[in-house]
Amino acid sequence: MAVTIKDIAKRSGYSFATVSRALNDRYGIDPKTLKKIKAVAEEMGYRPNQIAKSLVSRKTKTIGLIVPDLANPFFSTLLFHIKSLADAADYSLLICMSAWDPAKEEHELKLLFERRCDGILLYPSDPIDAKALDLYKIPICVFTDQEDDRGQVFFVGIDNEYGGEIATQHLFDQGYKRPAFLGGNQHSASSIARCRGYENICNKQKVNLPEAFISTGAFTIDSGYDRARTLLAMEPDIRPDAFFCANDLIAMGAMEAVTLDGLRVGADIGIVGVDNVIYAGLPQIRLTTMDIPLAELAKRGWLELMDLLAENGDKKETSDEKKASSSEEKQANSLLEPTLVIRETTDKSRRKK
Amino acid sequence: MAVTIKDIAKRSGYSFATVSRALNDRYGIDPKTLKKIKAVAEEMGYRPNQIAKSLVSRKTKTIGLIVPDLANPFFSTLLFHIKSLADAADYSLLICMSAWDPAKEEHELKLLFERRCDGILLYPSDPIDAKALDLYKIPICVFTDQEDDRGQVFFVGIDNEYGGEIATQHLFDQGYKRPAFLGGNQHSASSIARCRGYENICNKQKVNLPEAFISTGAFTIDSGYDRARTLLAMEPDIRPDAFFCANDLIAMGAMEAVTLDGLRVGADIGIVGVDNVIYAGLPQIRLTTMDIPLAELAKRGWLELMDLLAENGDKKETSDEKKASSSEEKQANSLLEPTLVIRETTDKSRRKK
DNA sequence: GTGAAAGCGCTAACAG
DNA sequence: CTGTTAGCGCTTTCAC
């Protein structure tokens, strides 16, 4: 169908080995032949078959990316950053969506392995078992705040527990007394860590909150709305007076629930989200939220993966020391700190609703 | 490195041809051999090398998707829908970002071709030349409202001109007299079509607006903000009293500019966007906008592409008549109609700012 | 039923 | 400098 190296060999009168060399600028070729072969190739509209190349080179120049949910702006923004990095490094990106389902995640992992990706970037839908990951003989970099670090698998992540702490602390500082935590997906490591931070501060403040104040659910506006409504339906003296939400979507749902109940966001009920999506800063929203350094996270993950690839491809002897030294470095700075962006949804003196 | 068909042939005592047959459930194999081979494969953790399979089958079960900008929620939502469809059909997705640059777009096209994608889904950054696309010997489906239909290339799209018309008409109906058009990327076919719709209605209304009322720029909040500020800085009697924005991001930027100037969104300045992103409906925003049936668009494009693949793979003789008949059908319903979602940003009697 | 052999498009020694 | 010969891992005739 498509024109191959043999076609252009026939047409140019050279053997296909010479054609291959010429097209790949290997040295040891007569400038004239080179010119002629390139001309013929151009004329015939030749495009190398990367499938065939990959088969022999054992490299695909392809990275697989697995995220739980592409509809979530957090992940689509992460994807955007990673894609930009991939472009710059001349890698293609194969994307997969686990839909927060560990079984599907494993399936995608297998698939990426079968397609012989050079490496994998994984944002797990579940706390990850590093050993299991090691089975895939591919360099994998995992986005999470877990601390393990073995084999081919590396971790980079956000310090979500710390994030949960400063967010919750901020709520208390602002004068709210009974913050509730509207979590995300039940198994989401990020959500779990943020919850831990929330609990740390609640304990420190020595407040005792009902169990119902901690909930999990989808990372969506609707889920936030529903859960906030439920909590707000409690008696005024025992219901929450603030929501720490596992992401901005949930927070926006909560905001909606608050206003619908005739309460004022900020003045009556404080709200803080996580992610700092572009909409959070709009004058009509002004959501207090944790900013996650997504571009930086993407970059770290990408660089880490590239390191892994380099180690793998190169020597095997020297890699041990290199690895040791580089992972030490990593350990020191591998958790990125989110920062609190204070806006009006946690402002008790806020006028407009 | 990884275990191959030969390894399991050696271990099981069969020839690798038999192993291949067994693993792919070809018939004509002794049930016992089959069972044994599968057991050995399982035990050794065999995973077929899709690269090698692709080389012989000439199929990669991969679709390439090219969009201008993954950071734009419109495209990430489109991606989400397409990815869902791809999952269901057992295709992998290779994503590319053209960054609104026709040169990069062409480069990505070449790349996808070299990787021997089975088909390509293209959301062009520019009005497309169908003939040029025909050069790539791959089925391509293009998202646009252009009408051409030749060769391997098919088009599906949104009727953006019509969308521009009803949006602008709505503005006049609400009592605004001097709508401006805040366009998107200069070469964006969608933006251009929406502008045409806007102009159609302005002509019909026999209003004569300054040239400056039509602008192009990035599809971003900042761009909308900047351009709205500029226009709002004109003398009150000649400046626009409404903005029709090429997408919701631009519209949100415009809203920001309006409130910053002490004007009221709706009462003083009407605003309508396009896309109906999830945030547009929030109680704090309530943006009037054109809803684009994105899920439907993704589905149409995907199905169209699958059709193309089927035709291509199957016979070559019968395909001509099939093609003729199917493209007729397509022509009849290939442009999807956006619908206007009326909210408060075009409500002159709106109270709150 | 199963094995041997050819070949997908390309790269990489090894000879000339 | 260029041609010949092996494969990369797998599917697919074609024999036995």
Rounded average pLDDT over B67-92: 97
Dihedral sign of CA atoms B210, B213, B214, B216 in order? positive
CB pair distance less than 8 Å for A259 and B283: yes
Are A282 and B70 in contact (CB < 8 Å)? no
Residue of chain A minimizing CA distance to B95: A93
- Residues 23-52 of chain A within 7 A of strand C, judged by CB, are 23-24, 26, 48-49, 52
- Within 8 A of B92 by CB-CB distance, chain A residues are 94, 96, 111, 115
Q: Which residues of A touch B49 (CB under 8 A)?
A: 114, 116
Predicted confidence (pLDDT) at residue B296 exceeds the cutoff of 50: yes
Shortest Cα–Cα distance, B93 to chain A (Å) = 6
Q: Which of residues 16-75 of B touch strand C (CB under 7 A)?
A: 16-18, 21, 28-30, 32-34, 52, 55-56, 58
For position A313, what pLDDT does the model report?
A: 63
B205-210: average pLDDT: 95
Pick from A48, A60, A93: CB nearest B51: A60
Q: Alpha-carbon torsion A123, A128, A132, A137, what sign?
A: positive
A77 Cβ nearer than 7 Å to chain C strand: no
pLDDT of residue A324: 46
Residue of A nearest to B252 (CA): A282
pLDDT of residue A333: 53
3-state secondary structure of A309: helix
Is this structure's pTM higher than 0.75? Answer: yes
Q: Output the distance from B92 CA to C6 C1' rounded to whole Å.
A: 30
What are the C-alpha distances in Å from B239 to residues A103, B57, B170, B281, B287? 58, 63, 19, 28, 21
Task: Locate all alpha helices (DSSP H) within A176-293, ordered by sequence.
Answer: 189-204, 221-232, 248-260
CA-to-C1' distance for B86 and C7, Å? 31
Of how many residues is chain A composed?
Answer: 353
d(CA A49, CA B280): 45
Q: What is the mean pLDDT of chain B?
A: 91
Share of chain B above pLDDT 70, in %: 91
pLDDT of residue B318: 41
Average pLDDT, stretch B223-231?
98
DSSP state of A123: -
How confident is the model at residue B15, as a pLDDT? Answer: 94
Cβ of B79 and A80 within 8 Å?
no
Q: Looking at residues B321-338, what average pLDDT do you find? A: 59
B328 pLDDT more than 50: no
Q: Domains in chain B, ordered, with CATH?
A: 5-48 (1.10.260.40), 61-157+294-325 (3.40.50.2300), 160-292+339-346 (3.40.50.2300)
- Number of Cβ pairs closer than 8 Å across A and B? 126
pLDDT, average across residues B185-199: 95
What chain A residue is nearest to B73 in terms of C-alpha separation?
Answer: A73
The residue of chain A with its CA nearest to that of B50 is A115
CB-closest option in B48, B70, B279 to A114: B48
pLDDT at B323: 46
List per-residue pLDDT tens for chain A, 353 residues long: 799 999 999 999 999 999 999 999 888 899 999 999 999 999 999 999 999 999 999 999 999 999 999 999 999 999 999 999 999 999 999 999 999 999 999 999 999 999 999 999 999 998 877 767 777 889 999 998 876 555 567 889 999 999 999 999 999 999 999 999 999 999 999 999 999 999 999 999 999 999 999 999 999 999 999 999 999 999 999 999 999 999 999 999 999 999 998 999 999 999 999 999 999 999 889 999 999 999 999 999 999 999 999 987 654 434 444 444 454 444 445 789 999 999 999 998 865 44
Residues B19 and B9: their CA atoms lie apart, in Å, by 6
Look at B284 and A279 and tell me if their CB atoms are within 8 Å.
no
Rounded to whole angstroms, the distance from the CA of residue A245 to the C1' of nucleotide C14 is 67
- pLDDT score of B314: 52
A197 CA to D6 C1' in angstroms comes to 61
Judge: B70–A80 Cβ closer than 8 Å, yes or no. Answer: yes
Is the pLDDT at B147 greater than 80? The verdict is no
Tokens of B186: 């200069």
Tell me the mean pLDDT in the region B45-50: 96
- Nucleotides of strand D lying closer than 7 angstroms to a protein CB: 1-5, 7-13
pLDDT at residue B313 is higher than 70:
no
